[in-house]
Copies of this chain bind each other. A is one copy, B any other.
Amino acid sequence: MKQSNLFSKTRKEAPNDEASASARFLIRGGFVEKIGAGIYAMLPLGLRVLNKIEKIIAQEMDAIGGQRILMTALMPKKNWETTGRWSSLDVLFKIEREKGESYALGATHEEEVVPLVQKFVYSYKDLPFSVYQIQTKFRDELRAKSGLLRLREFSMKDLYSFHADEAGLDVFYEKAKDAYFKVYERTGIKDKTFLTFASGGSFAKFSHEFQMITDAGEDIIHICKKCGLAINKEIKEEYPVCPECQCAEFEEKKAIEVGNIFKLKTKYSDPFNLQFTDKDGQKKLVIMGTYGIGLTRLMGAVAEAHHDESGIIWPREIAPFDVHLIALNSTDEAVYGKVKNAADKLYFDLQKAGLEVLYDDRAEKSAGEKFKDSDLLGIPSRIVVSEKTLQKDSVEQKNRNSKDQKLILLSEADPRNL
């Protein structure tokens, strides 16, 4: 995409009310725009990142057999009354209608997925299976703040698994754990993300969270110095030693939750009476698990984990573009014509080779402004075409995560090396 066409623009200053580095850079770069407290629109660059995160998560959920569906945001009140959460879940947005049904806005989807699969589950032969969706969730968070880290409206992947017995749930649960770490690896935060024992909140007695350590986080975790298992501070008292390796030494860190998985067992199959007929002819309740990742928060967490004082440094697989191609202006119009021609050709060639290119073709911006923007946007590879580089029949290449830059002959500018 040509940067001269991009309607969003970078800004020198971030709003004063944005506390986290990720929020400041995401807004300054024109990735997202605040609409209200905890409510952000995705601009073209931000949506590209979010869509890449979505693709990774969908691939990893498909790989463990998840069947993708799309449930609804308008959820009839009666299902929430069945579980008791119409009154107990305090973050629920409610639409009370004078005529006809009232609705909850989907904050989580146990209340929809259980009656939905109930229409298709009769026998043990129909089990196990899992369904997932990537959908907008709504939660009336009082403490909406810190950019994308705590939102009232956000994109979330929620997967639900259905089993004939707990042994089946246990097997799938371990698979899901592995799939989650693959997601964190591909989004560039695996090194900072720890499997964490936590309380089950409104869902279950215990759960596992995936916590990414960052000073912008609102949680505190205790990481076992021996095996790396973490325990959320809220239940740390119950675990004087690590339940995995019995080590008693922990490191305390601030962290943000970037995923969670729960063994629901019969917590939601019971109120809806989601049963199946087992091999022995007995009616039994279906055993369930639930597995969530907030995509929007993950995007904020990645920006929090990968930035320096100049801007974001996107991990390659979720960067909005692969290459930031920059043509520098010249006071000599004929020279600038040559620079533009060389850059135009490279823009075409790089895209033809399958690379996604943001092309800074803006004539009115100085080299300094362009480099600042490039650092702010954080695209992994930067290529500069200028009077100086063309004098050596070359372009200058630099990776965002390195200070090294090198000249590459135009004739050897193989996209695979850029």
Binding site for B on A (CB under 8 A): 5-9, 30, 33, 35-37, 39-44, 47, 50, 65, 67-76, 93-95, 97, 100-101, 103, 105, 112, 116-117, 119-121, 126, 129, 131, 136, 138, 140, 152-153
The listed residue (B7, B76, B95) touching A93 by CB distance below 8 A is B95
Assess the A40–B138 pair: CB atoms within 8 A: no
Distance of A103 Cα from B65 Cα, bound (Å) = 38
Q: A120-B9, A136-B136 are in contact. Are A153 and B72 (CB under 8 A)?
A: yes
Q: A72-B35, A129-B7 are in contact. Are A116 and B41 (CB under 8 A)?
A: yes
A55 CB to nearest B CB, Å:
12
The listed residue (B6, B33, B153) touching A67 by CB distance below 8 A is B6
Assess the B41–A112 pair: CB atoms within 8 A: yes
User: From A76, which residue of chain B is reached at the shortest CB distance?
Assistant: B36
Q: A47-B70, A136-B136 are in contact. Are A131 and B7 (CB under 8 A)?
A: yes
What are 28 residue pairs bridging A and B, where the CB atoms are less than 8 Å apart in the complex?
A: A5-B67, A5-B129, A6-B67, A7-B120, A7-B126, A7-B129, A7-B131, A9-B120, A35-B72, A35-B74, A35-B75, A35-B76, A36-B74, A36-B76, A36-B103, A39-B74, A41-B72, A43-B69, A44-B68, A44-B69, A44-B131, A47-B69, A73-B73, A73-B138, A74-B153, A95-B95, A105-B105, A136-B136
| Copies of this chain held together in the complex | 2
Q: A9-B120, A67-B6, A69-B42 are in contact. Are A74 and B33 (CB under 8 A)?
A: no
A409 CB to nearest B CB, Å:
33
Q: Which of A6, A39, A126 counts the most chain B CB atoms within 10 A?
A: A39
Assess the B69–A41 pair: CB atoms within 8 A: yes
The listed residue (B69, B74, B131) touching A152 by CB distance below 8 A is B74
Chain A to chain B: the 9 pairs with minimum beta-carbon distance, closest first? A42-B70, A7-B129, A41-B71, A44-B67, A36-B76, A74-B153, A35-B72, A39-B72, A39-B74
Query: Hey, which chain B residues are within 8 Å of A33, CB to CB?
Result: 116, 119
Query: Hey, which chain B residues are within 8 Å of A120, CB to CB?
Result: 7-9, 30
User: From A9, which residue of chain B is reached at the shortest CB distance?
Assistant: B120
User: From A119, which residue of chain B is reached at the shortest CB distance?
Assistant: B33
Q: Which of A43, A95, A131, A152 counts the most chain B CB atoms within 10 A?
A: A43
Distance of A327 Cα from B103 Cα, bound (Å) = 44
Query: Hey, which chain B residues are within 8 Å of A73, CB to CB?
Result: 73, 136, 138, 153
Query: Hey, which chain B residues are within 8 Å of A67, CB to CB?
Result: 5-7, 44
Assess the A47–B74 pair: CB atoms within 8 A: no
A405 CB to nearest B CB, Å:
30
A181 CB to nearest B CB, Å:
25
The listed residue (B43, B94, B100, B117) touching A95 by CB distance below 8 A is B94
Distance of A403 Cα from B136 Cα, bound (Å) = 43
A286 CB to nearest B CB, Å:
12
Query: Hey, which chain B residues are within 8 Å of A95, CB to CB?
Result: 93-95, 105
Distance of A101 Cα from B37 Cα, bound (Å) = 9
User: From A93, which residue of chain B is reached at the shortest CB distance?
Assistant: B95
